[in-house]
A and B are shown apart, each in its own frame.
Chain A
Amino acid sequence: MNALCLAATSFMQPELPAATSDDETVRAAMAGDRKAFEILYRRHADRVYGAILRLAAFDHARAEDLTQEAFIRAWQKLESFRFESAFGTWVYRLAVNVALMSIRARNADPVSIVDDEHLPDITDPDHPLRSLERDELEKAIAGLPPRARAVLVLHDVEGWKHEEIAVELDMAVGSSKAQLHRARGLLRRVLGERP
């Protein structure tokens, strides 16, 4: 990108005044101020995109589509934001929901018919996971079936509780735990198969 492009880009993007809180910006956006909404987008896009990217198997093109969809939904639902949580938390949860809906819509999860008992435990001392490079781990996670990946990412990466995952994925808490166990086993198997 040349200097002219850089100048044009910085001219086009609204300033992000540190003094302006999210709440004020959200109120302006609620009143229809698109520049305010753009500021919110720029403040929170990276966190939202990161979460969606992990749920979307590190598929950048799909994550970009879902991120756009998430912010469009946020704009549409902005009236329902009650300032009971931080805007960042609200839009992050909404974005995760958009990503999970996409997983549900694809409706394919062959792992759901795999018998848990046939999968090894990740804590199995005979099969220790070696220390991994980030790329290697991301590729292994990307190879997991969608629903198992969703539970693994939400629990082990995003730090969600099983109760929260169960609500978002419309499953029992026990199923969330079983999916996590299954996903960890599959992950270990995938990583173990690599040279």
Chain B
Amino acid sequence: MNELEYLRQMRSLNRPTAPRRDLWAGIEARLDETSAVATPRHRRAQPWLMAAAIAAVAVLSGGIGLHLAPGGSDAVPEARTAWKPADPRLTGAAVELDAAHMELTQAMKDSPQSAALQRLLQKTERQRDRLRNIDKQAG
């Protein structure tokens, strides 16, 4: 048998095949167990994913604040900031990074093995260190 004949025979196996028994009853029973398409089970987003998204936005906006803050960040509530920079222009970024850190730490309690969360947490800590250095340099 040449290769063409081989392939023809192989392709002939590609045909719909009816299951020997009706599988629907078993499927339907498990739909009950696993809940339907549009139930809250599917709407329930992963909590850590939501926290990560919030944290990412917070870090991003913190970074933007770091560059753009004109010194008008006095309105930021001090109680939310774990570390208060000497330079008031950095306060906004510090608050955002603290919030991101807090969210991520909370999320890590729910999903301690999440590599994505760990990376985000490490990134947030590095950004906070950078902010501290900038604050020191600013004197």
Q: List chain A positions with a Cβ less than 8 A from chain B.
A: 9, 13, 29-32, 34, 37-38, 41-42, 45-47, 49-50, 53-54, 60, 63-64, 67-68, 71-72, 75-76, 78-79, 122-123, 128-132, 134, 137-138, 141, 156-159
Contacts and interface: CB of A to CB of B under 8 A. Distances in A.
Contact of B15 (A50, A63, A129): A50
B20 A76 contact: no
Interface string B8-26: 0111111111111111101
A68 B16 contact: no
Interface string B34-51: 101111001000000000
Query: Interface size for chain B: under 10, 10 to 19, 20 to 34, or 35 or more residues?
Result: 20 to 34
Contact of B5 (A54, A131, A156): A131
Among B17, B31, B42: residue with most chain A CB under 10 A? B17
Given A72-B30, A123-B3, A134 B12 contact: yes
Given A76-B37, A128-B1, A131-B9, A71 B18 contact: no
Given A75-B34, A75-B36, A67 B14 contact: no
A72 B14 CA distance: 24
B26 A68 contact: yes
Contact of B16 (A13, A34, A46, A138): A46
A59 B16 CA distance: 15
Interface of B: 1-3, 5-7, 9-24, 26-28, 30-31, 34, 36-39, 42
B27 A129 contact: no
B25 to A, nearest CB: 9
Contacts of B21: 64
B37 A75 contact: yes
A76 B19 contact: no
7 contacts: A45-B19, A49-B17, A64-B19, A68-B27, A71-B27, A130-B1, A159-B11
Contacts of B38: 30-32, 79
Contact of A72 (B3, B7, B18, B31): B31
